[in-house]
């Protein structure tokens, strides 16, 4: 088996980004704006968010970065100077709101249990907060299938830095070369590259697909195509990257 472990991104990979975070972000922006349409409009603008469609643009800081990236933008849009307090407020509000619109991409439990049964160690590495990842994985009934969960606040840094992958490698004694990182953004690809892991891109997220297709080692349509890709390795054949 060429890989001993598989690390999944969450949003856009395991969870439908637009269906989950579009409605959640809309409600949180409305709450923070407290009835002031100008403040809500500014929040949407700096977030590259279309309220009518409840969707983020591919280059939205909400999609490409973590809370440390977009919280200062929201603070300026709201005219707030209490950034540490606002960060905690945003994190708490988003964690709760996302549970109401949480939308998995297909039957995740069947996938994770199959991969675990085949001997792979599994992890989730996300730029969401760790508490939010655990809550969502619990709701989706896949939490117990993962050996490792890390978010932007777990102490390992945020993607595209390789810290979460490096931490997993050290914790379980798995060489980076035997780790596959599955994600839908360039942050996932760059994180894998920096750690010396293999980047497997999926096309279920709202990020620019051209970048993923050009830079990932392998491309699959969804995470549910992963077993077939892994089977080609196990059969002694190197899978062809779709460019």
- How many domains does the chain contain in total? 2
pLDDT of residue 1: 53
User: Do 116 and 213 reside in the same domain of the chain?
Assistant: yes
Q: What angle do CA 153, 15, 68 make, to 5 degrees?
A: 25
**Within a domain: 241:** no
pLDDT given for residue 235 in this prediction: 55
Pair 10, 122 in one domain: yes
> β-strand 198-202 against 179-183: which pairing, if any?
parallel
Looking at the domain assignment, is residue 240 inside a domain?
A: no
Kindly give the residue spans of alpha helices, DSSP state H, lying in the chain. Answer: 17-33, 37-47, 61-64, 67-78, 83-101, 108-117, 130-139, 163-172, 186-195, 209-215, 226-234
Q: Per mean pLDDT, which range of 10-14, 133-137, 214-218, 230-234 is the poorest?
A: 230-234
Same domain for 86 and 147, yes or no, is no
Q: Are residues 96 and 182 in the same domain?
A: no
CATH number of the domain encompassing residue 125: 3.40.50.1000
Q: Nearest Cα to 10, choosing from 122, 126, 97, 101?
A: 126
Q: Which domain holds residue 75?
A: 17-101
Average pLDDT along the chain? 93
State residue 66's pLDDT score. 85
Can you read off the two tokens belonging to residue 230? 């892994």
Res. 236: pLDDT tops 80: no
Instruction: Tell me, yes or no, if the pTM score tops 0.95.
Output: no
121 and 173 housed in the same domain: yes
Average pLDDT over residues 70-87: 96
pLDDT digit string, tens, across residues 151-166? 999 999 999 999 999 9
């Amino acid at each position: 088996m060429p890989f001993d472990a598989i690390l999944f991104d969450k949003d856009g990979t395991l969870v439908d980004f637009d269906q989950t975070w579009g409605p959640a972000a809309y409600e949180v922006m409305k709450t923070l704006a407290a009835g002031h349409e100008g403040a809500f409009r500014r929040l949407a603008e700096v977030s590259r968010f279309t309220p009518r469609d409840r969707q983020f643009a591919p280059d939205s800081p909400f999609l490409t970065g973590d809370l440390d990236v977009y919280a200062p933008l929201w603070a300026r849009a709201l005219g707030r100077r209490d950034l540490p307090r606002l960060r905690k407020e945003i994190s708490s509000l988003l964690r709760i709101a996302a549970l109401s619109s949480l939308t998995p991409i297909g039957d995740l439990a069947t996938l994770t249990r199959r991969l675990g049964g085949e001997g792979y160690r599994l992890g989730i590495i996300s730029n969401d907060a760790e508490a939010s990842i655990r809550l969502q994985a619990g709701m989706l009934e896949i939490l117990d299938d993962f050996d490792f969960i890390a978010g932007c606040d777990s102490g390992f840094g945020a993607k595209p830095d390789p810290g979460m992958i490096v931490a997993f490698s050290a914790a379980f004694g798995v060489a980076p070369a035997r780790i596959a990182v599955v994600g839908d953004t360039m942050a996932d690809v760059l994180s894998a590259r920096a750690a010396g892991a293999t980047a497997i891109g999926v096309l279920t997220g709202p990020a620019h697909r051209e970048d993923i297709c050009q830079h990932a080692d392998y491309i699959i349509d969804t995470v549910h195509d992963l077993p077939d890709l892994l089977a080609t390795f196990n059969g002694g054949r190197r899978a062809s990257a779709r460019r």
